[in-house]
Amino acid sequence: SKKVAVLAVQGAFIEHERALGKLGCECVELRQGPDVDQAFDALVLPGGESTAQAKMLRELGMLDTLRNRVAAGLPVLGTCAGLILLAQNVEEGVPAAGDPAGPVAAGATAPGAFGTLPVTVRRNAYGRQLGSFHTVAPCAGLPGVPDGETTDIPMTFIRAPFIKEAHEGAKVLARVDDRIVAVRAGNQIGVAFHPELDDDLRIHQLLVSLA
């Protein structure tokens, strides 16, 4: 069975482990620096608070090893905050209350902690009113879906980013209201929503199929 590492320093990682368990994967939690030294077939970067996650990745000494492995082709799924970590460019939206990064000016840009996924992401993109919502939208590139076709999947958004621009090498998999919410670039999958919170396992299946 495939061994999938799940970043477990902050955020919604248990739900990913549950989904991956249903697919027969063995999950290992990355909590401490030395946890990244073992071998694994794929990586999940969960939702949560991207600034807190980035800080912990650096402080625990995990970031360089993980970034190098992703750059070398380790399959990775970044969801919500995880997508922000992967993004080459992150633009600040409405500042989140209690953000550990402190007040960051709306519109400021910086690379994500990994910076390996060729997209520009807008953080906290939906504002406070429409902070969280659930929808169903067509998604391409999932296992069993022929090229050029899509299948509807459930999508739960929680203070989500959207992908403002997919750069060269990033294939758009899904849009909601004309905003890009899922991409794939090589072995990197980035989604703005939380597939681990719905019963549909196909986004996780896509990750496992790359491992």
Active-site amino acid positions: 80, 194, 196
Q: Per rule CB under 6 A, is residue 123 in the interface with ligand GLN?
A: yes
Site size toward ligand GLN (CB under 6 A) is 12
Strands 150-158, 132-140: pairing is: antiparallel
- Alpha carbon 56 to its chain centroid, in Å, reads 17
Q: Per rule CB under 6 A, is residue 47 in the interface with ligand GLN?
A: yes
Residues 76, 128, 117: CA angle, nearest 5 degrees? 20
Span near ligand GLN by CB under 6 A; candidates 44-52, 56-64, 147-155, 163-171? 44-52
| Residue 114 buriedness (CB in 10 A; 0-12 / 13-18 / 19+) | buried
Q: Per rule CB under 6 A, is residue 112 in the interface with ligand GLN?
A: no
C-beta of 2 vs 123, nearer to ligand GLN = 123
Shortest reach from residue 48's CB to ligand GLN, in Å: 5
What SS3 string covers 54-75?
Answer: HHHHHHCCCHHHHHHHHHCCCC
Q: Per rule CB under 6 A, is residue 56 in the interface with ligand GLN?
A: no
**Subset of residues 153 to 182 that bind ligand GLN, contact rule: CB under 6 A:** 158-159
Shortest reach from residue 21's CB to ligand GLN, in Å: 21
The residues binding ligand GLN (CB under 6 A) are: 47-50, 80-81, 84, 96, 123-124, 158-159
Q: Which residues participate in the annotated binding site for L-glutamine? A: 48-50, 123, 158-159
